[in-house]
């Protein structure tokens, strides 16, 4: 078992004829992911790298049986692409796009929540169940199939964490990049809940950063609902207040959203909080043995 | 994007939101002319910088005559205004706003923000206006009325009613307040505002609701459709190195430390800053060259870091996924050769083709310290910091 994506996932890549979409669709297929369709409005009927292209997501679902979408559509059109997927009945929508206007995401967010679909991201590396399915832009070879669930707001920082886990002999059940934006479809609690219920997952690594209060809420959820061991890391102890640190959601507003407050909340909930990123892998070996 | 008060009030006026009559001036003579044109006294002379707390810092003064307005404008223009939001170095005042003085009966607070937790546009209002709203929120949260407007309903009369009844406004003011809140909501949607703040929103002696102050931030991600506001960007308000970095799509924030760093990805960049601190040094910057940085971006980033005279050493931390380490290594070598190297540089890279990348660095003949992992990089940075 793994969560959300596996061998049965049938992917439609929205924006498959763009530079990013094309490149990553190929990378996903090389990993063994079943990419069954692409969507680019106006290019329906074409074939991109062996994948049939449709004008609409609905066609991709009906004619190619897609049940997961992977979005590389540019920011001005990305919220529309998310809502199109949801409207077409796609079960899992993974939005990689960074820089979607907040107001657009608000509309998309409420539409997703009123549907039966799940959104991961936007502004995320995607999701991977190692050895089974990769729906995203993460480098496949650093992962190994195993039993640790990873959930993170970041991209390359997640790769660093995964790399340390793999190097220390711990594979991953599923790694979910939930995204660095202020409004995201799947939050820490959603992911933690999935990992807690997944029999393959025996331990969880949670990677947060400054901004908002998602980590504090997750800590509370863990204390009450998660029985599996959790290791936490928070980036941004040295980040100055009031500045957006790359990610749209990574900002300390006044005195709220600091790394210090998040680490304290997590420690109180019984989570092993790493101060030194470099020791995460070694510590995980201890905690997850 | 942040904009000035006088610009925010220009936008307010387009949405028929009441503001005091006023005019912006860049010289004392212009300020005099503006005061003359207003034709009333007193007038208020307000420093225009991108920071709050201007009044306490001496940037807002009341003038009782045209002569005094000219004199005060002359004093404020060119001064370095230090407030709790500017940092100790302060900001130089280049423009002042000359406004008609108001007879204030009461000061309210009204803020509008897209709220991340509820994915709604949230109004925050309080009768405790004119004060630091963060302080009010921390000490007396019950004094703040919050109303969330979801995109599914958009702004309805019931939202406005919830605001005015919870604030306990008298009917005459309530009517004006409801209208103003609706106009603000429309403005937020039209201009992708990521923050609107009116502090204070005043009730005048003759029972008029007026936005005495105005603050608007625009969502940077929405600038592609806010082209008419692009002209409001004031580069004088931004750090010159950050402006330079933004030309190359680099996400750079200048900090006060002495160890420069360059990283791909925002999360890893923050974590790298934290590692530098943990090693006993202070980060000189935040620099995210992007998840898929190119050799050219690495070169530009390197040049910008080295232009900071405080920097005594540099840590490059790249997790190459899509970006291969051999290409990155070539980029670093190319950058160092072009820019020159007078301070120690630690390179830690990991990921695709890392062996080849390390070989390129080693054989370049440059005195780069190659770190094997994060721990090793921290150790090498600590050595540099100790001198």
Active-site residues of B, by number, are 109, 197
Q: What is the spatial distance between Cα A254 and Cα A240, in angstroms, rounded to a whole number?
A: 10
Contact predicate B131/B112, CB 8 Å: no
Residue B184: which of B198, B167, B173, B170 has the closest Cα? Answer: B198
Tokens, residue B137:
């929120």
Tokens, residue B297:
């971006």
Q: Is A197 on the interface with B (CB under 8 A)?
A: no
> What does pLDDT average to over chain A?
96
Q: Considering only residues 48 to 77 of chain A, which have any Cβ-Cβ distance to chain B shorter than 8 Å? A: 75-76
Using CB atoms, which residue from B138, B194, B274 is nearest to A235? B274
Residue of B nearest to A183 (CA): B116
Contacts of B295 (CB under 8 A, 6+ apart): B327, B328, B330, B331, B334, B335
Contacts of B132 (CB under 8 A, 6+ apart): none
Q: What are phi and psi for residue B317, nearest 5 degrees? A: -125, 105
Residue B292 confidence (pLDDT) = 64
* Cβ contact B116–A212 (<8 Å): yes
Which of the residues B134, B225, B266, B348 would you substitute to probe the A interface, choosing the one with the greatest number of A C-beta atoms within 10 Å? B266
Contact predicate B229/B190, CB 8 Å: no
E strands of chain B, at which residues? 22-25, 43-47, 60-63, 80-81, 91-92, 96-100, 104-115, 120-126, 144-149, 193-204, 209-211, 215-218, 251-254, 259-263, 285-288, 313-320, 345-351, 368-371
Residue B135 confidence (pLDDT) = 81
Residue A138 in 3-state DSSP? coil
Percentage above 90 pLDDT, chain A: 93
Residue B229 confidence (pLDDT) = 97
Q: What is the spatial distance between Cα B192 and Cα A274, in angstroms, rounded to a whole number?
A: 38
Q: Give, as one character, the DSSP assignment of residue B256.
A: S
Residue B343: which of B297, B377, B310 has the closest Cα? Answer: B310
Using CB atoms, which residue from A101, A182, A212 is nearest to B192? A101
Q: What is the spatial distance between Cα A57 and Cα B287, in angstroms, rounded to a whole number?
A: 37
Rounded to two decimals, the ipTM of the complex is: 0.94
Distance from CA of A231 to the nearest CA of B (A): 16
Q: Is B186 on the interface with A (CB under 8 A)?
A: no
Is residue A172 reached through a cis peptide bond, with omega within 30 degrees of 0 on the bond before it? no
Q: Is A165 on the interface with B (CB under 8 A)?
A: no
Q: C-alpha distances in angstroms, B225 versus A192, A247, B228? A: 37, 20, 8
- Axis crossing angle, helix B171-191 with helix B5-14, rounded to the nearest 10: 100
pTM over 0.80: yes
Residue B293 confidence (pLDDT) = 67
pLDDT band at A1 (very low <50, low <70, confident <90, very high): low
Buried b (16+ CB within 10 A) or exposed e, A150-183: bbbbbbbbbbbbbbbbbeeebbbbbbbbbbbbbb
Tokens, residue A185:
């479809």
Q: Per-residue DSSP letters for B125-177?
A: EES-TTS-HHHHHHH-GGGEEEEEE-TTT-S-HHHHHHHHHHHT--HHHHHHH
Summarised one tens digit per residue, pLDDT across range A141-151 is 999 999 999 99
Look at chain A and count its residues. Answer: 289
Q: What is the spatial distance between Cα A156 and Cα B270, in angstroms, rounded to a whole number?
A: 11
Contacts of B344 (CB under 8 A, 6+ apart): B313, B314, B367, B369, B384
Contacts of A10 (CB under 8 A, 6+ apart): A34, A36, A64, A65, A66, A67, A68
What residue has token string 């993974």?
Answer: A94
pLDDT along chain B (387 residues), means of 10: 97 98 97 96 96 90 97 96 87 97 96 94 92 81 93 97 97 97 98 96 97 96 96 93 90 94 94 94 92 76 90 92 80 84 90 87 88 91 85
- Axis crossing angle, helix A214-225 with helix A188-197, rounded to the nearest 10: 20
pLDDT average, residue stretch A241-254? 88
Residue B336 confidence (pLDDT) = 85
Q: What is the spatial distance between Cα A228 and Cα A198, in angstroms, rounded to a whole number?
A: 11
In sign, the C-alpha dihedral spanning A166, A169, A175, A179 is negative
Contacts of A232 (CB under 8 A, 6+ apart): A205, A206, A207, A208, A215, A263, A266, A271, A272, A273, A274
Q: C-alpha distances in angstroms, B288 versus A204, A212, B351? A: 27, 21, 17
Residue A59 Rama label (left phi>0; alpha psi -120 to 50; beta) = alpha
Using CB atoms, which residue from B119, B194, B266 is nearest to A247? B266
Contact predicate B245/B290, CB 8 Å: no
Residue A247: which of A154, A165, A142, A118 has the closest Cα? Answer: A154
Residue A206: which of A152, A128, A145 has the closest Cα? Answer: A152
Contact predicate A48/A25, CB 8 Å: yes
Residue B303: which of B225, B349, B353, B250 has the closest Cα? Answer: B250
**Which range has the top average pLDDT, A28-37, A253-262, B85-94, B139-148?**
A28-37
Q: What is the spatial distance between Cα B86 and Cα B113, in angstroms, rounded to a whole number?
A: 22
Tokens, residue A95:
């939005």
| More confidently predicted of A163 and B249 | A163
Residue A2: which of A158, A164, A150 has the closest Cα? Answer: A150
Q: What is the spatial distance between Cα B217 and Cα A288, in angstroms, rounded to a whole number?
A: 45
Q: Enumerate helices (H) and strands (E) in chain B, giving the number of each.
A: 12, 18
Q: Is A190 on the interface with B (CB under 8 A)?
A: no
Residues of B in contact with A155 (CB under 8 A): 265-268, 291
- Radius of gyration of chain B measured on its C-alpha atoms: 26
Is residue B200 reached through a cis peptide bond, with omega within 30 degrees of 0 on the bond before it? yes
């Amino acid at each position: 078992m793994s969560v959300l994506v596996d061998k049965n996932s049938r992917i439609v890549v929205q924006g498959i004829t763009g530079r990013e979409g094309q490149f990553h669709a190929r990378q996903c297929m090389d990993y063994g992911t079943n990419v069954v369709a692409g969507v680019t409005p106006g290019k329906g009927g074409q074939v991109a790298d062996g994948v049939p292209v449709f004008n609409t997501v609905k066609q991709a679902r009906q004619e190619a049986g897609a049940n997961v979408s992977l979005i590389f559509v540019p920011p001005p059109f990305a919220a529309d692409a998310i809502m199109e997927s949801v409207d077409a009945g796609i079960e899992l929508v993974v939005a990689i796009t960074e820089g979607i206007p907040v107001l657009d995401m608000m509309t998309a967010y409420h539409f997703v929540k009123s549907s039966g679909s799940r959104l991961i991201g936007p502004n995320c590396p995607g999701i991977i169940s190692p050895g089974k399915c990769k729906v995203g832009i993460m480098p496949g070879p650093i992962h190994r199939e195993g039993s640790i669930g990873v959930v993170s707001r970041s991209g390359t920082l997640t790769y660093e964490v995964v790399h340390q886990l793999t190097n220390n002999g711990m594979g991953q059940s599923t790694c979910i990049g939930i995204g660095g934006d202020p409004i995201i479809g799947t939050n820490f609690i959603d992911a933690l809940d999935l990992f807690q219920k997944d029999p393959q997952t025996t331990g969880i690594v949670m990677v947060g950063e400054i901004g908002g209060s998602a980590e504090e809420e997750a800590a509370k959820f863990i204390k009450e609902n998660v029985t599996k061991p959790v290791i936490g890391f928070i980036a941004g102890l040295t980040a100055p207040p009031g500045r957006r640190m790359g990610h749209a959601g990574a900002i300390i507003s006044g005195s709220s959203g600091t790394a210090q407050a998040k680490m304290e909340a997590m420690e109180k909930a019984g989570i092993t909080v790493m101060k030194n990123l470099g020791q995460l892998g070694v510590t995980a070996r201890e905690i997850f043995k | 994007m942040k904009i000035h008060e006088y610009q925010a009030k220009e936008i307010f006026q387009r949405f028929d939101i009441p503001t005091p009559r006023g005019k912006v001036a860049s010289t004392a003579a212009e300020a005099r002319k503006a005061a003359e044109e207003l034709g009333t006294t007193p007038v208020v002379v307000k420093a225009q910088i991108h920071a709050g707390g201007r009044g306490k810092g001496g940037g807002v003064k009341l003038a009782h005559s045209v002569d005094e307005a000219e004199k005060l404008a002359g004093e404020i223009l060119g001064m370095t205004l230090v407030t709790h939001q500017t940092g100790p170095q302060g900001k130089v005042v280049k423009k002042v706003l000359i406004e008609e003085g108001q007879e204030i009966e009461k000061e309210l607070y009204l803020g509008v923000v897209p709220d991340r937790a509820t994915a709604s546009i949230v109004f925050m209002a309080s009768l405790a206006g004119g004060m630091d709203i963060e302080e009010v929120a921390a000490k007396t949260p019950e004094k703040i009325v919050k109303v969330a407007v979801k995109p599914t309903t958009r702004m309805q009369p019931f939202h406005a009613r919830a605001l005015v009844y919870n604030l306990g406004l008298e009917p005459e003011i309530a009517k004006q307040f409801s209208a103003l809140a609706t106009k603000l909501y429309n403005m937020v949607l039209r201009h992708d505002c990521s923050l609107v703040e009116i502090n204070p929103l005043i009730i005048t002696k003759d029972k008029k609701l007026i936005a005495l102050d105005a603050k608007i931030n625009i969502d940077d991600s929405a600038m592609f459709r806010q082209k008419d506001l692009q002209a409001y960007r004031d580069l004088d308000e931004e750090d010159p190195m950050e402006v330079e970095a933004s030309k190359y799509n680099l996400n750079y924030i200048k900090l006060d430390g002495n160890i420069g760093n360059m990283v791909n990805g925002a999360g890893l960049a923050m974590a790298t800053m934290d590692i530098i601190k943990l090693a006993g040094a202070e980060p000189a910057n935040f620099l995210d060259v992007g998840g898929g940085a190119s050799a050219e971006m690495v070169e530009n980033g390197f040049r910008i870091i080295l232009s900071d005279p405080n920097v005594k050493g540099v840590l490059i931390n790249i997790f190459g996924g899509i970006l291969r380490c051999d290409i990155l290594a070539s980029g670093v070598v190319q950058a160092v050769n072009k820019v020159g190297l007078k301070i120690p540089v630690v390179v830690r890279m990991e990921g695709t083709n890392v062996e080849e990348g390390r070989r390129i660095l080693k054989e370049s003949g440059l005195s780069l310290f190659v770190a094997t992992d994060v721990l090793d990089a921290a150790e090498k940075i600590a050595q540099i910091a100790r001198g």
